């Protein structure tokens, strides 16, 4: 695997999890008798520092639905451009100099067909093998938890092809986190709302908020901020139904994230905007208005790449004061 008889060092699921500042939405799951570092979330990130190694082989699963595309991953070194790779070969290689580097790896593409909730079709890392040296924890940074849907997760950013046109790394959340130098934890699933169930067998946001999958509870670490962007997928429901469900979601968020500041975003399409404002005002929660951002969309709903960048910059400006 490595040239010149280099001394290999293998980092398994638990070792990789221990390197993380927070577990985020990652957890250890055994599938087909294989322990995995596993997540059901598009946009979940692993961060660590490499020292005195020149090659990292990242071994991954590809448990996608047989009717859908391969899963995708992306990686970058020292905050430079993201490199996207398919999981078809169940591994990908990151080459770097032996100097110290920040390595980031993100789950970057799946499809609505993937049964992530109860069908074990999430993203998995079996191990990372390096050709010498060591991996250590990356410097800690502020954390923001984003509760949302496919727009927050990073679907359909560059086109209409599932997985291949997803860009969690450069959607509005990815850009905002880069601008703010923060770690973003996404609790977001395609098509999900406060009432509407998400795809992949995932329940509505009030239920997926406290679960990692159908059988695994989630207890988040203490982030610096929670941002909610939900509502656009609930347009089929009545105002009264939505208002009651969104209020219930806020109760659950307050309970789960005790003493963490909560910020409410108005959906880009302004869905239920007046109801969301009213509920936020009742709880004295700050609101981020988005009507003036005017994004263009790939499909009438998901901001395209250019305006994902624009929206990310705008969001970062709005959030900066909450992180001081």
DSSP states along 153-190: HT-SSSSSSTTTT--TTTSHHHHHHHHHT-EEEEEE-T
Mean pLDDT of 18-39: 98
Say if pTM beats, i.e. exceeds, 0.75. yes
Q: Which domain CATH number covers 31?
A: 2.60.120.260
Scan for tokens 């990372």, then name that residue: 128
Is residue 224 included in any domain, yes or no?
Answer: yes
Mean pLDDT of 47-54: 98
Shared-domain flag, residues 44 and 60: yes
> Is 2 a member of any domain?
no
d(CA 177, CA 319): 10
Name the pLDDT band for 70 (thresholds 50, 70, 90). very high
What is the Cα–Cα distance from 306 to 304, expressed in whole angstroms?
6
What is the C-alpha to C-alpha distance for residues 136 and 102, in angstroms, rounded to an integer?
10
Instruction: Clarify whether residues 154 and 279 are in a common domain.
Output: yes
Answer yes or no: do 192 and 303 share one domain: yes
Tell me, yes or no, whether 317 lies in a domain.
yes
Of 136, 153, 182, at which residue does a domain stop?
136
Paired with 85 in beta bridges are: 73
Based on the domain organization, do 152 and 294 belong to the same domain? yes
- Is residue 261 included in any domain, yes or no? yes
Is pLDDT at 4 greater than 70 in this prediction?
Answer: no
Which two three-digit tokens encode residue 305?
A: 């790449």
68 and 161 within one domain: no
Q: Are residues 305 and 180 in the same domain?
A: yes
Parallel/antiparallel/unpaired status of strands 27-31 and 9-11: unpaired
Asked if residue 1 belongs to a domain, the reply is no
* pLDDT over 70 (residue 61): yes
* Distance, CA of 94 to CA of 84 (rounded, Å): 11
Which residue in the block uniquely carries the two structure tokens 């595309």? 69
Q: What's the confidence (pLDDT) of residue 260?
A: 98
> Do 87 and 57 sit in the same domain of this protein?
yes
| 132, 151: one domain | no
Residue 223 lies in a domain: yes
User: What's the chain's length in residues?
Assistant: 324
pLDDT for position 2: 56
Q: Which residue has the tokens 């108005």?
A: 266
- What's the whole-number mean pLDDT along residues 289-308? 98
Residue 295's closest CA among 146, 148, 149, 151? Answer: 151
Both structure tokens of 216: 């695994």
Query: What's the burial of 31, exposed, middle or buried (CB within 10 Å: 0-12/13-18/19+)?
Result: middle
Structural domain contains residue 97: yes
Indicate if 122 and 149 belong to the same structural domain.
Answer: no
Give the burial string for 207-245 (b: 16+ CB within 10 Å, else e).
Answer: ebbebbbbeeebebeebbbbbbbbbbbbeebeeeebbeb
If one counts the domains in the chain, the total is: 2
- Structural domain containing residue 297: 143-323
**Do 32 and 86 fall into the same domain?**
yes
pLDDT digits (tens, 9 = 90+) for 205-220: 999 999 999 999 999 9
| pLDDT score at 7 | 79
Query: Which of 136, 164, 185 is the last residue before a domain boundary?
Result: 136
Whether residue 277 is found in the same domain as residue 159: yes
286 found inside a domain:
yes
Q: Which of 136, 163, 179 is the last residue of a domain?
A: 136
- Is the pLDDT at 85 greater than 70? The verdict is yes
On the question of pLDDT at 36 being above 80, the answer is yes
Percent of the chain with pLDDT over 70: 98
Residues 203 and 112 in one domain: no
pLDDT of residue 28: 99
């Amino acid at each position: 695997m490595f040239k010149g008889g280099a001394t290999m060092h293998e980092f398994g699921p638990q070792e990789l999890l221990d390197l993380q500042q927070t577990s985020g939405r990652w957890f250890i799951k055994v599938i087909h008798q294989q322990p995995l570092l596993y997540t059901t979330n598009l946009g979940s990130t692993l961060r660590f520092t490499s020292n005195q190694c020149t090659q990292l082989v990242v071994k991954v699963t590809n448990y996608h639905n047989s009717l859908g595309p391969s899963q995708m991953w992306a990686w970058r070194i020292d905050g430079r451009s993201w490199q996207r790779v398919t999981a078809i070969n169940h591994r990908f290689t990151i080459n770097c100099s032996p100097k110290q580097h920040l390595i980031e790896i993100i789950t970057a593409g799946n499809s609505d067909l993937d049964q992530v909730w109860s069908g074990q079709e999430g993203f998995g890392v079996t191990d990372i093998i390096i050709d010498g040296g060591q991996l250590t924890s990356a410097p800690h940074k502020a954390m923001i938890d984003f509760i949302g849907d496919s727009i927050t997760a990073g679907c359909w950013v560059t086109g209409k092809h599932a997985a291949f046109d997803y860009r969690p790394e450069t959607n509005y959340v990815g850009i905002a986190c880069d601008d703010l130098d923060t770690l973003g934890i996404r609790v977001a699933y395609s098509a999900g709302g406060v009432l509407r169930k998400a795809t992949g067998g995932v329940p509505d946001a009030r239920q997926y908020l406290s679960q990692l999958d159908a059988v695994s509870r989630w207890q988040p670490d203490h982030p610096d901020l929670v941002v909610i962007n939900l509502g656009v997928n609930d347009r089929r429901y009545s105002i009264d139904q939505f208002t009651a469900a969104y209020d219930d979601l806020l109760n659950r968020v307050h309970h789960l994230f005790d003493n963490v500041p909560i910020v409410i975003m108005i959906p880009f399409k302004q869905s239920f905007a007046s109801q969301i404002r009213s509920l936020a005002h009742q709880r004295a929660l700050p609101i981020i208005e988005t009507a003036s951002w005017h994004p263009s969309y790939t499909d009438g709903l998901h901001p395209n790449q250019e305006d994902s960048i624009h929206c990310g910059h705008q969001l970062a400006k709005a959030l900066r004061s909450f992180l001081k």
